[in-house]
Structure 1
Amino acid sequence: MLSPVLDDDGTPFWEHAAQGELRVQGCADCGELRFPPRPCCPHCHSFASAWRRMTGRGRIWSYVVPHPPLLPAYAELPGYNVIVVELADAPRIRLVGNLVSGADAALNSVAPDRIRIGARVQAVFTAVNGVTVPRWVLERA
């Protein structure tokens, strides 16, 4: 499996994920949220930032089920998905991840025909190659 690349701007995201928290970088001056993390606010050009805790809820904005698997590390996981999640508490923020049946479930644990644009999801966290990553499960009605 692929591992996230840690850099100075994004390291706090991964540190919070390791604690089971989904946080997004925001400008400490104008308040605008931004993702991916970067040193300067694209709105007011401030270098001051703060990490804001999100609820972890969102909705599927888009998705793809690659056929055939495009990377060798995923060859044994046919039917895996990649989803784009629009956060409920920050609709302009979209995160890429996988829809799974549970935090430690396989990437292909949700049948592709169960994935729907607009479906509500909740973040869960699991360790992948020593880094805790957010994944997504369908919200229970």
Structure 2
Amino acid sequence: MTNISFPEPTITAVTQPFWDKINEKQFYLQQCDDCAQWIFYPRAHCPHCFGSKLTWKEASGQGKLKSWSIVHRAGHPAWQGRTPYAVGIVELIEGPSLLTHLLIDEQEICYQLPVEISFQQLNERLLPFFQKKGD
């Protein structure tokens, strides 16, 4: 069981620009050229107005914690050795929400906690985790 590898994100032609920027320690999201709404997860059309003119733009990487859970039994064997760990839904300043790992002590986690992105190396890949703002 020691050679179990962590699951990799599924990278497609639509999501490739997101992961390319993450690898450069930059956080980019799509923004609709028609309605100006920010979009996450990456997609081929705007979920707000159904426009197809989406532009990748640098985002703040900041938000507030909306919800969270402490994982004691991981869904994948590779993560079991890292339990317990926290995952949460972060509402970004730009508007979209995303599910992410939280690098925050369980005792400090609270609703609307200001958070910011923290790029973490996991095997050969950088991943966007979030930490308490200012840490």
TM-score (norm 2): 0.85
Q: Distance in 2 between matches of 1:136 and 1:81?
A: 10
Match of 2:3 in 1: none
| 1:133 matched to 2:127 | yes
Summarize the Cα distance change of 1:32–1:63 in structure 2 as closer, same or farther, 3 Å threshold.
Answer: same
Gaps of at least 5 residues in structure 1 are: 101-109
| 1:49 matched to 2:54 | yes
Q: Is the 8 A contact 2:72 2:85 kept in 1?
A: no
Match of 1:115 in 2: 109
| Counterparts of residues 1-141 of structure 1 (less than 5 Å) | 1-88=6-93, 90-91=94-95, 93-100=96-103, 110-140=104-134
Q: CA deviation at 1:37?
A: 1.1
Amino acid at match of 2:106: P
Runs of 4 or more off by more than 3 Å in structure 1?
none
Q: CA deviation at 1:30?
A: 2.4
Q: CA deviation at 1:79?
A: 1.4
Q: CA deviation at 1:135?
A: 1.0
Q: CA deviation at 1:69?
A: 2.6
Q: Distance in 2 between matches of 1:48 and 1:94?
A: 21
CA RMSD of aligned residues (A): 1.7
Q: Is the 8 A contact 2:31 2:56 kept in 1?
A: yes
TM-score (norm 1): 0.82
What is the identity percentage for the equivalent residue pairs of Structure 1 and Structure 2?
26
Q: Is the 8 A contact 1:40 1:47 kept in 2?
A: yes
Aligned residue pairs total 130
Gaps of at least 5 residues in structure 2 are: 1-5
User: Could you tell which deviates more after superposition, 25-34 or 9-18?
Assistant: 25-34
Q: CA deviation at 1:138?
A: 0.7
